Amino acid sequence: MADVLIVGGGVGGLTLALCLHRNGVPCVVLEAAPEFRALGVGINILPHAAAELARLGLEDELTRVAVLTDEASFFNRFGQLVHSEPLGRAAGYAHPQFSIHRADLHGTLLRAVRERLGADRILLGRRLAAAEQDAEGVTLRFEPDGSAAAPQPVRGAVAVGCDGIHSALRRQLHPGEGEPKYTGYNMWRGVSPWPSILTGATMARVGWLATGKMVLYPIRNAVDAEGRQLLNWVFEIESESYRSRRDWNLPGSVEDVLPHVAEWRFPWLDVPAMLRASESVLEYPMVDQDPLPRWTFGRLSLLGDAAHPMVPRGSNGAGQSILDARCLADALARTPDDPAGALAAYEAERLPATTKVVLTNRTNPPDAILRVVHERTRDKPFARIEDVMTREEMLAITGGYKRVAGYDLESLRAADE
């Protein structure tokens, strides 16, 4: 087979390159940026996606740079514990849940691609202008670079758009698509060096969107001489306005968040003090797009955020792109003489699965527990959580999300047998 052309060198694109290499399928990564830079803040890799990265031989390296999350805890905005349950290996999974800085995950994948495939298999400064296909393959043409000269076109067997939420290939395949859907919530994200909280490996969710909800989890251990962690925080609140429709790297201000959490001083965390220690803050509207009816057009297809951008709840965006990559690489390896058929088979498996996740993230992600408590208590402290919501109800919400996203313990154990 001629090269698989991977448009985009993010988490999904680099994982696809590693999966294809493992399967003996040649590929080349075409990245729009002239150089890779450390971007973003924290993300989570859930056990089903961590299993795929382990199959690529990356678990030990990721363990060195990530935090192995062991607990999910939910609190109301008064600091009262609503629910707690184990995560990752603490919950019996064969693989951990990684809480990790996006730059550390990307750096791990990038080093592996360069070492295994060769540095010449990643071409920078290739911003897609158009993708053309015929009976024999695909030709990609690129925008002019800084010198006003367009890089030479590249020819391959198929092309896969792994170019994220602003995907050029998605725009070509779906030119009439509407604007991103704003959910009515704005989000700020940041990281702060801070002493460990709770277990030191807890993902904590506090409050609810009507008055403000925060998600907190550590993403690096021992970041200074004091042994502090790098604590990732996300704050979301109902808002009619936002500054940018969809820019993951828009600088934000902690001053926009502080008034909403001025009284959030809990025994385990002084939230205003932690926010003031933030090294960087980003602002982002909570948006997604309606699921597409199709990703694949002959020898062209989409993967990851280019295929199924979702509201960033449930810690599942990067993980779904990793699952996409494994599925697509295996499909191409099974039918090397029919790459277009492989893309169609990949779509048939992954489009319905990711559509369910996109829609569930809008309505019933794991933190929907806090919505129920907020509504039933009318945003007041409670005397006993058992009088508000049963543990069975809570486990039904978190367990239901795990089943939709494909990482409930029973399914993963069955897949390993």
Per-residue model confidence as pLDDT tens digits over 362-384: 888 889 999 999 999 999 999 99
Q: What pLDDT digit, counting tens, does each position of 307-325 carry? A: 999 888 877 889 999 999 9
- pLDDT at 417 exceeding the cut of 60: no
What is the rounded CA–CA span in Å between residue 127 and residue 395? 45
- Tell whether the model's pLDDT for residue 344 goes beyond 90: yes
- What is the pLDDT, as a whole number, of residue 375? 97
Q: Is the pLDDT of residue 292 over 70?
A: yes
Q: Which of 104-108, 246-250, 386-390 has the lowest mean pLDDT?
A: 246-250
Whether 304 maps to a domain, the answer reads yes
Residues 230 and 228: their CA atoms lie apart, in Å, by 7
Report the alpha-carbon distance of residue 86 to residue 221 in Å, rounded.
20
Share of the chain above pLDDT 90, in %: 79
Task: State residue 132's pLDDT score.
Answer: 98
Give me 329's structure tokens. 């690489």
**Structure confidence at residue 361 (pLDDT):** 85
> How confident is the prediction for the chain on average, in pLDDT?
93
Given a cut of 80, is residue 195 above it in pLDDT? yes
**Based on the structure, what is the number of domains in the chain?**
1
Amino acid at 130: A
Whether the Cβ atoms of residue 303 and residue 321 lie closer than 8 Å to each other: yes
pLDDT digits (tens, 9 = 90+) for 147-168: 778 899 999 999 999 999 889 9
Strand partners, 191: 232, 280
Q: Is the pLDDT of residue 351 over 80?
A: yes
Residue 298 sits in a domain of what CATH number?
Answer: 3.50.50.60
Could you tell me which of 36, 96, 86, 89 has the C-alpha nearest to residue 61?
96
User: Is residue 87 situated within a structural domain?
Assistant: no
- Strands 138-142 and 154-156: what pairing? antiparallel
Instruction: Answer with the residue of higher pLDDT: 176 or 105.
Output: 105
Whether residue 25 lies inside any domain: the answer is yes
pLDDT at 416 over 90: no
Q: What is the DSSP letter of 251?
A: B
pLDDT tier at 287 (50, 70, 90 boundaries)? Answer: confident
pLDDT of residue 184: 85
Does residue 220 lie in a domain region? no
Nearest-CA neighbor of 327 among 19, 9, 2, 17? 19
Mutual orientation of helices 339-363 and 317-334 as an angle, nearest 10°?
A: 160
In this prediction, residue 321 carries a pLDDT of 97
**What pLDDT is stored for residue 365 in this prediction?**
85
pLDDT band at 246 (very low <50, low <70, confident <90, very high): low
Q: Which range of residues forms the domain containing residue 305?
A: 4-39+102-179+290-363
E strand or H helix at 203: strand 202-208
Distance CA 203, CA 87 (A): 9
Question: How high is the pLDDT of residue 243?
Answer: 67
> Residue 377's pLDDT is what?
98
* Cα–Cα distance, 263 to 405 (Å, whole number): 35
Separation of alpha carbons 81 and 84, rounded Å: 8
Helix, strand, coil shares, percent, the chain, to 5: 35, 25, 35
Q: Establish if 374 belongs to a structural domain.
A: no
The answer to whether residue 336 sits within a structural domain is yes
- In one letter, which amino acid is 78? F
**35 located within any domain:** yes
For 13-47, the pLDDT digits (tens) are 999 999 999 999 999 999 999 898 877 789 999 99
What is the spatial distance between Cα 209 and Cα 239, in angstroms, rounded to a whole number? Answer: 10
pLDDT given at position 227: 95
Domain for residue 349, yes or no?
yes
What is the rounded average pLDDT of the residues 135-153? 90
